[in-house]
Amino acid sequence: MRSLRYTIKSIAILILGLFLLLIPRDASAAVPTKRILVLFPYESNMPGFLNLDNGFRSVLSASKDYQFELYLECMDLTRFPDERYYEKLMDLYHEKYSNPKMDLIVANLRPSLDFLERYGPESLRQVPVILSEQDPRLLGAPLEVPVAAVVTDVLDVEGTLALAMRLHPDVRNVFVVTGASQFDRSLEGMARERFRNFESRVEFHYLSGLPMEELIQRASQLPEHSLLFYMSVFKDGNGKAFKSPDVLALIAEEANAPIYSVAESYIGSGIVGGHVLSHTAHGARVAGVALRILRGEKPGHVESSDGSGIQYVFDARWLKRWGISKEKLPPGSIVRYREFSLWETYRWQILGIAAILFIQAFLISALIVSLRKQRLADRALREAELKYRTVADFTHDWEYWSAPDGRLLYNSPSCERITGYSSRHFMEDPSLFGRILDPEDHAIWEEHVRANPLEHPFRTIQLRIRTPDGSVRWIEHVCRLVTDERGEFLGIRASNRDITDRKNAELEAQQHREALAHVTRTVTIGELATSLAHEINQPLTAILCNAGAAQRFLSANPPDLDEVRKILSDIIQDDKRASEVIQGIRNLVKKEPSRRETVRLNEAVQETLALVRTASPLEETSLVTELDSRQPAVLGDRIQLQQVLLNLVLNAAAAMKDTPQKSRQLVITTVVQDSHSVMVSVRDSGTGIDKDFMDRLFEPFCTKKVDGLGMGLSISRSIIKAHGGTIGARNNPEGGATFYFILPMDI
């Protein structure tokens, strides 16, 4: 019994000893305490300073060499710029920090050091000082107070502006926003210096020291292709103090252009983003220098940044507001304030659950489907074969399938109705198809056969074949590539439709259109008969007069042979002129098949005007030609195109019959549009086209002429359409109308 109690007592003592070993010792008893005073010239709730303070404290708290007592003083110098306030503030600091003595002072920003230099009590003058500044260019005048170290970072205004210009390549104006405080002016000076390299690419405007209302109004009325570059506003032009992020938020709410800046503390207040300085990283660097000084090291007068505290940071809300894609951002960019969807938040959980449900559903479905497939496969195959055979054998068109080597796998019975040869003939001799082709179409068929079916899986051509009785039939041949589920080539499926009746109807319609066009030309020439007779009579009269004069010169003694030669030359020219007029009339009225040739439109216009220049409808009318110097040419029928021009010119003259003679002007223009087409237009100064009549202009028998048939424009549309072009009309803003047609160029 006694031994049991002894054993229990020993175990209890052992457990107590282990417990005491696990109790942590008071580290403060062995680690010295260091007191650090941190000075900040502005308000205590500035986001940039809060981030800097967090970075500073995080490094100090991780140190195992010292315990730290941090004293933070935000002096609010901007809101209280009064000499008496400064003196009383330093009296307070003298009372607070005389005892215990500070081991280190961190002066954040140059105004803190200047304040300490001017008003600092003797109790603080002997303490080592670290000056923390955002950029070495903001240090200003040389330091008059000895400091232990200067820790600077970089405000990358050049990099941020270059980034903004890449994201907005059409920017033309950059508006730089700064306030009226000393710090604001320092930032403005730095911006002006660093932006000189960009002045050849954009125009800079400095919104500096403006009253707040005017600044917001200016930011809301910026011209197009502008952006704002925000530096800081701690005081406006009226002397009112502000927190810079609050001013940024007010501007962003009204601004009509994107805003960029160089401080991370402005992310979330209205800027799109930038190559920004991380105040947290800067605070950590300051803490590292502070530890080295407290250990007795001399880190050097200036500790410059290595660039690690600068990064690309953006606000997703403003990226969306200004339509900037995240793909355009530099690699490694940080995007904050994203809107995460349920899918983005729980993507892997959703995918896992969906995968499990899918697998379960798939296994169950597979069991059911496999049973049904086994029962239905044979029946479906038989039904499909019967259905295909029924459709193929009884289709009206001639269908066939050919293997890759040219053998016919199937040929429908309809081939006998179309070709006169039975299906057996083609199955036994597949080359029969080529032999029954019309000789003129052999080239079309050979080109079709040589084409790679893998590159042209669906093709259509029209051919003529000759039946055993010698008759000619038109067929439309359509073929399609056949492949299996793996994409392997299995052959060609073809369908041949008899289109003989359609082709005959098209030919007959074409003949009727050409006959109607010929009648229209003849009627037009009849209307111009008087003017044409006058045009021919002029050179004939001149020939008669010149012949009489020649007789007189020959009767002289001696004969004046030089004058006779001149007269004979004039007679030859007048004869050619009469011949040209007569030939132009003959060309317009003769009836011969349509033919295609290269037609120079400028020459066609001149020839047409030569026929109608003295016509009575064009009397007292100013004729103007504006012909393209590139001599545009088209492939077509010269006579038909001249008929269209003649019709448009006479219609334009008729439209100006009620226009005063001095105001009658008819302008004919040719112009190459896009190197592939040419437009010919006829512009008049008449009364224009009624809106209700515009949609029916080119319909047959639609006219407003009392003695007109209404066929001229309809025939013109048919001619232009047959030439692969378009015709149209529009009213001119200054009065009158313009009729035009567009044709593809002969390149």
How many alpha carbons lie under 13 Å from residue 310 in its C-beta half-sphere? 20
Q: Do 469 and 507 share a domain, yes or no?
A: no
Distance, in Å, from the CA atom of 499 to the CA atom of 496, rounded to the nearest integer, reads 9
Give pLDDT tens digits for 68-100: 989 888 888 888 888 888 888 888 888 888 777
Q: Do 627 and 714 share a domain, yes or no?
A: yes
Residue 93 domain-assigned (yes or no):
yes
Q: What is the pLDDT of residue 110?
A: 85
Residue 335 domain-assigned (yes or no):
yes
Residue 373 domain-assigned (yes or no):
no
Tokens of 460: 């259509």
What CATH number does the domain containing 243 carry?
3.40.50
What CATH number does the domain containing 737 carry?
3.30.565.10
SS3 553: helix
3-state helix, strand, coil in the chain (%, to 5): 50, 20, 30
Distance, in Å, from the CA atom of 352 to the CA atom of 544, rounded to the nearest integer, reads 107
- What is the per-residue burial (b if ≥16 Cβ within 10 Å, else e) of 599-620? bebbebbebbbebbeebebbee
Give pLDDT tens digits for 221-240: 999 999 999 999 989 999 89
Residue 22 domain-assigned (yes or no):
no
Q: Do 724 and 611 share a domain, yes or no?
A: yes
Indicate the residue among 261, 293, 314 that finishes a domain.
261
Domain count along the chain: 5
Q: What is the pLDDT of residue 659?
A: 86
Residue 456 domain-assigned (yes or no):
yes
What CATH number does the domain containing 565 carry?
1.10.287
Q: Do 537 and 562 share a domain, yes or no?
A: yes
- pTM for this predicted structure: 0.44
Q: Do 249 and 303 share a domain, yes or no?
A: no
Indicate the residue among 548, 565, 593 that finishes a domain.
593
Q: Do 183 and 143 share a domain, yes or no?
A: no
CA distances from 483 to 546, 565, 676, 698 (A): 84, 83, 39, 48
Give pLDDT tens digits for 154-178: 889 999 999 999 999 999 999 999 9
Q: What is the pLDDT of residue 4?
A: 44
Q: Do 58 and 147 share a domain, yes or no?
A: yes
Q: Do 739 and 601 share a domain, yes or no?
A: yes
For the chain, list residues with pLDDT below 70: 1-29, 123, 144, 299-307, 341, 344-345, 378, 380-395, 453-458, 508-546, 548-549, 552-553, 570, 573-594, 611, 613-617, 619, 701-711, 747
Q: Which residues pair with 404 in a beta bridge?
A: none
Q: Domain of 583?
A: 502-593
Distance, in Å, from the CA atom of 180 to the CA atom of 234, rounded to the nearest integer, reads 7
How many alpha carbons lie under 13 Å from residue 160 in its C-beta half-sphere? 33
Q: Do 463 and 574 share a domain, yes or no?
A: no
Residue 14 domain-assigned (yes or no):
no
Residue 130 domain-assigned (yes or no):
yes
**Residue 144 CB contacts under 8 Å (≥ 6 apart), including other chains:** 117
Q: What is the pLDDT of residue 637?
A: 83
Distance, in Å, from the CA atom of 651 to the CA atom of 647, rounded to the nearest integer, reads 6
Pairing status of strand 67-74 against strand 33-40: parallel
Indicate the residue among 593, 615, 644 that finishes a domain.
593
Q: Do 401 and 479 share a domain, yes or no?
A: yes
Q: Do 718 and 632 share a domain, yes or no?
A: yes
Residue 364 domain-assigned (yes or no):
no
Best CA proximity match to 525, nearest among 681, 650, 711, 619: 650
Percent share of the chain, pLDDT over 70: 79
Q: Do 276 and 207 share a domain, yes or no?
A: no
Give me the sign of the Cα torsion angle 604, 610, 613, 617. Answer: negative
Angle (nearest 5°) at CA 50 between 47 and 51: 90
Q: What is the pLDDT of residue 222?
A: 94
